[in-house]
Structure 1
Amino acid sequence: MIILGIILLVLGFIFSIPILWTLGIIVLVIGVILAILGATGRAVGGRRHFY
């Protein structure tokens, strides 16, 4: 999710599409939150790790 968020951010910046920029930020933040929760050992949605 983190990589997808970064890709959307870059594409939104290059092509000047604000919706891609916004979606990239949202996906990136969600990916970071899930990665932090997985790293602390807290199961989210029945899974301990999100890749």
Structure 2
Amino acid sequence: MYLDYETVSLIEIYRNSESTMEVAFGTMILFIVLLVIYYIAYLIRKKMLHGKTR
């Protein structure tokens, strides 16, 4: 099984106990940012639909 350099370095980061918290924290931030963007898009869509019904 061939692993490229990026995948190997990612596995090493995940194996490192100190970096595991950083990875989890970064993933959490990414998830929150995506959630906020989705919520803003939902509000804009809701406003546009409300404007059309008027």
TM-score w.r.t. length of structure 1: 0.50
Higher relative contact order (CA 8 A, sep 6+): 1
TM-score w.r.t. length of structure 2: 0.47
For the pair shown, which has the larger CA radius of gyration, 1 or 2? Answer: 2
In terms of fraction of residues, the more helix-rich structure is 2
